[in-house]
């Protein structure tokens, strides 16, 4: 190895070091380090909408179809059927959250045990399960459409024995 080669090698290293520094300095000057005041996008699913106005127009038959499309992969809906990946949903409306003694709920859902599955609680849960109970094992991203959630809840009300009074009669207006 002659000294000319070593000189070139040294120069190459020096030059690349300078390049890296120039790039870093330029990019730091152009792109500010501060986080934006407002997030670039927001998830519409994260608003807890009051579900009552949607319940007035809810259709249990549409809910039936949706539940069999989206939920029954993991949930049984027939009275007395054994739990699937998730707990049996028969009679879930008005039941305490994490209320089946035979099902092994996550700590996240057990922590909510003091509450009841009301229409609103179900709606909030189905909007974004992971936000309602961070750490839940129900791996459903969520249903952003309030009308769909209302249909599903209307169907869930028809399952098993529910102590909850029926929702107000629909005035017959389609949403
Ligand atoms: C990928 C499987 C999966 C799908 C799909 C799914 N769930 Fe679940 N669900 C679960 C699991 C698992 C739990 C238990 C969660 C826990 O313990 O954290 C659960 C819990 C629940 C509970 C709480 C019940 C109780 O006894 O407290 C309700 C209500 C529920 N799911 C409704 C639904 C509805 C309605 C749908 C369809 C829109 C749905 N789930 C879709 C897996 C699923």
What pLDDT score does 45 carry? 45
Give the count of domains, the chain: 2
Q: Bridge partners of 14?
A: none
| Rounded alpha-carbon distances, angstroms, from residue 35 to 28, 39, 131 | 14, 9, 23
Say if 167 falls within a structural domain: no
User: Same domain, yes or no, for 91 and 59?
Assistant: yes
Average pLDDT over the chain, rounded to an integer: 85
User: Same domain, yes or no, for 8 and 65?
Assistant: no
Residue 72, token pair as written in the block: 């029954």
Say if 46 falls within a structural domain: no
Residue 42, token pair as written in the block: 């927001």
CATH number at residue 123: 1.10.760.10
* Domain hosting residue 3, numbered range: 1-30
pLDDT one-digit tens code per residue, 63-84? 999 999 999 999 999 998 999 9
Say if 172 falls within a structural domain: no
Q: What is the DSSP string of 78-131?
A: STTPPP-SS---TT-TTSBTT--TTS---HHHHTTTTSB--HHHHHHHHH-HHH
Say if 163 falls within a structural domain: no
User: Same domain, yes or no, for 16 and 74?
Assistant: no
- Span 116-126, average pLDDT: 97
Say how many Å lie between the first and final Cα of the chain, rounded.
83
The Å distance, Cα 140 to ligand 1 centre, comes to 8
Q: Report the C-alpha gap between 135 and 22 in whole angstroms.
A: 44
pLDDT one-digit tens code per residue, 22-34? 767 777 777 666 6
pLDDT one-digit tens code per residue, 125-157? 999 999 999 999 999 999 999 999 999 999 999
Say if 58 falls within a structural domain: yes
User: Same domain, yes or no, for 19 and 63?
Assistant: no
User: Same domain, yes or no, for 2 and 58?
Assistant: no
The Å distance, Cα 86 to ligand 1 centre, comes to 5
Does any ligand 1 atom lie closer than 6 A to the CB of residue 154? no
Q: Report the C-alpha gap between 139 and 160 in whole angstroms.
A: 24
Tell me which of 69, 75, 84, 145 to substitute to probe ligand 1's pocket, judged by most ligand atoms within 8 Å of the beta carbon. Answer: 75
Q: Report the C-alpha gap between 143 and 24 in whole angstroms.
A: 43
Q: pLDDT band at residue 166, thresholds of 50, 70 and 90?
A: low
């Amino acid at each position: 190895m002659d000294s000319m080669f070593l000189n070139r090698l040294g120069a190459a290293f020096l030059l690349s070091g300078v390049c890296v520094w120039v790039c870093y300095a330029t990019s730091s000057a152009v792109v500010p380090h501060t986080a934006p005041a407002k997030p670039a996008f927001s998830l519409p699913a994260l608003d807890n909408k009051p579900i009552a106005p949607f319940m007035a127009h809810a259709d249990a038959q549409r809910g039936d179809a949706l539940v069999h499309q989206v939920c029954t992969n993991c949930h049984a809906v027939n009275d007395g059927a054994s739990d699937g990946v998730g707990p049996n949903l028969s009679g879930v409306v008005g039941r305490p959250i994490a209320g089946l003694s035979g099902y092994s709920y996550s700590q996240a859902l057990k922590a909510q045990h003091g509450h009841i599955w009301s229409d609103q609680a179900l709606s909030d849960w189905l909007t974004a399960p992971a936000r309602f109970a961070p750490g839940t094992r129900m791996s459903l991203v969520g249903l952003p459409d309030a009308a769909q959630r209302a249909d599903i809840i209307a169907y869930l009300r028809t399952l098993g024995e529910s102590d909850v009074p029926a929702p107000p009669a629909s005035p017959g207006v389609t949403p």
